[in-house]
Chain A
């Protein structure tokens, strides 16, 4: 079978063979290059990730109050304390509620934005930038703007001003948990901050879908719009969707900044990291209990991530379909 084509004919001539040079010692060694490029990262990983995890594991079996070099071994006492602590267990419920809402909402919003921006003929780069820019904003800065300007509980807060036009009383968005308006503040802040980032991932995935697929579908009678989206676009985005959901879930587990800054020292709306911070690591300085809680959380995140990957087929590429 011939594989010759016109492009083969145009192939550039091979470069002129250079005169033989002696190999330049370690620079020519793949092993050296491997360690040169990966070494710093491996060292960083060992120092800043694995060492703290191991130290945390060690601390979790000690009474480590106001010290990270304890000497009183307490066995599984810290684990028992954290697992029987209503607030810590409750924080897992808070996370579940938060993740159950924020993951699908962000997925849908970022996909929607990607579809809209991708269809634009004019100013596509502008809108892509506009939606992506909030990603560069810090969670702390955004939280402060949301708390003090948009969702301030007084009459000159932006939302209360708007509500006032319709004769609606001021709402204490963050101070009063009944009804739980604080979720509106937290979820809207996070959506604004992260939807643009996932939109970029979806745009990249959309641009990778071959146009021939849509042409073939059109020839087969598929109507543009929902039908094409349902049977062509969405299945083609499966790998990206799985990755996005996974990233969103991990980000939801790691939620801290906006909860910490928007809900100062409440007993509600505390995701696990915030609960650990308040109960063990922050002002109470109970590093033993904190480490136990952190390890419980780590195991839980690993289990959920593996399960989610299994259910959604993470890692099964196009070739496995």
Chain B
């Protein structure tokens, strides 16, 4: 005892206390969990957003959060490429966000990761796009609030097509011919992304197939899809496709900088393209893969979910209701002031003046005419399985049937786990 007291004298204890204080301060600096300070009600909420490419979006989301007076809402703005893995990993921990944006996926519901939001959506359900409601519904319960709809299609340079005497393609064969005619020693005819992932679903829909059918069975393994994959392989090896571009296809830079004449992208890019190219551009849907198919548009988008394991589920739901159901002026601003998106609320979609003319109106028309929405049963593992098909068959020349068989095994394993 005496030895202890001689070792741990007052000076030592003071030094240790000072050290602990410093360590505590450093820990606080390093541990940015986004929960700084307390709101007026004392409730702290954290929300995750993937980093949107359009200027002003981060500030807008933080402005909305600041305007909310019933809780202190902080935002983590996460680089796009890392968003999914970071979100999924964090959801397993105590540092999980209280609310986050993502796409509807049934595995999150089955795992008890997202809260039932039926009670806050039900009163305004009829004002939402029915397809958006359907894509968020499992067993009659609605699990997310759609914030924006993002149709994706081809953007093209009118002047380049006119100079090459190329008509807007309506079939995949015509698209391949157009890409060949538009390719010069400086400009490639077509850009569909370095990994081609964004055109997988549109190609399947344009072949008259689907990812899953109503019974949640495989619906993509058809002759039309096999033929489509073979055509995509031909396109990939033609030399008319822009490969190895510095930016991915969600960024319109390749079209804007004249690296390609036609680029697959999303409606969000319209203001940026307008600023770069003036009126020298147009849009068209993914062309028919085979004669029996139909042009298609992928209606992507982002939805807000509440972490079911959060300690503040009710407060998070209140915030979601306040921002994404009650605050219509913010919703319209979010959908049309930065990139262009279609508001999922019918009343807002009709009143959004920026979407009523020019190419924006054409985008809305394509959305309504050819659009396909997310299937909540089509999970991340299934998405990866079809990405592998494109990697193996289109980019690496594997037999499409063999690649699809391999995907079938992965998708069926997933379906069995989800639906028995």
Contacts and interface: CB of A to CB of B under 8 A. Distances in A.
B194 A283 contact: no
B391 A266 contact: yes
B149 to A, nearest CB: 23
A264 B85 contact: no
B396 interface: yes
Given A26-B3, A265-B197, A267-B392, A68 B92 contact: yes
A240 to B, nearest CB: 37
Interface stretch (A104-112, A169-177, A304-312): A169-177
A182 B388 CA distance: 18
Contact of B92 (A67, A151, A175): A67
Given A66-B113, A153-B194, A266-B195, 7 more contacts: A25-B2, A66-B107, A154-B245, A178-B397, A265-B195, A282-B88, A284-B380
Given A24-B7, A152-B246, A283-B380, A265 B387 contact: yes
Interface residues of A, number: 38
Contacts of A175: 194-195, 243-244, 395
Contacts of B236: 176
Contacts of B388: 87, 267
Nearest to A169: B239
Contact of A25 (B4, B195, B242): B4
Nearest to B110: A66
Interface string B1-16: 0111011000000000
A16 interface: no
A46 B90 CA distance: 23
A314 to B, nearest CB: 36
A141 to B, nearest CB: 14
B3 A25 contact: yes
Consensus secondary structure, chain A interface = loop
B276 interface: no
A68 B111 CA distance: 11
Contacts of B84: 282-283
B23 interface: no
A155 interface: yes
B396 A268 contact: yes
A265 B194 CA distance: 10
Interface string B377-394: 000110010011001100
8 contacts: A26-B3, A66-B88, A67-B92, A155-B186, A175-B244, A176-B236, A267-B392, A283-B88
A268 B392 CA distance: 8
- A-B residue pairs, 4 tightest by C-beta: A153-B244, A25-B3, A172-B243, A66-B111
B259 interface: yes
A268 B393 CA distance: 12
A282 B92 contact: no
A175 B248 CA distance: 12
A230 interface: no
B395 A176 contact: yes
Interface of A: 24-27, 63, 65-68, 86-87, 148, 151-155, 157, 170-178, 264-268, 278, 282-286
Contact of A267 (B4, B107, B244, B396): B396
B417 interface: yes
A176 to B, nearest CB: 6
Contact of B111 (A25, A67, A151, A282): A67
A24 to B, nearest CB: 7
A87 B396 CA distance: 15
A174 B194 contact: yes
A13 to B, nearest CB: 33
Contact of B396 (A24, A67, A86, A177): A177
Given A157-B244, A265-B387, A65 B417 contact: yes
B76 to A, nearest CB: 18
B108 interface: yes
B92 A65 contact: no
Given A155-B186, A284-B381, A264 B194 contact: yes
A153 B242 CA distance: 8
Contacts of B88: 66, 282-283, 285
Contact of B384 (A24, A153, A170, A283): A283
Nearest to B417: A65
A284 B384 contact: yes
B417 to A, nearest CB: 7
A44 B181 CA distance: 63
B392 A65 contact: no
Contacts of B4: 25-26
Nearest to B2: A25
Nearest to A171: B244
Contacts of B392: 267
A278 B381 CA distance: 9
A51 to B, nearest CB: 15
A266 B389 CA distance: 10
A82 B72 CA distance: 45
User: Which interface residue of A26, A173, A283 has the most chain B CB atoms within 10 A?
Assistant: A283
A175 B395 CA distance: 8
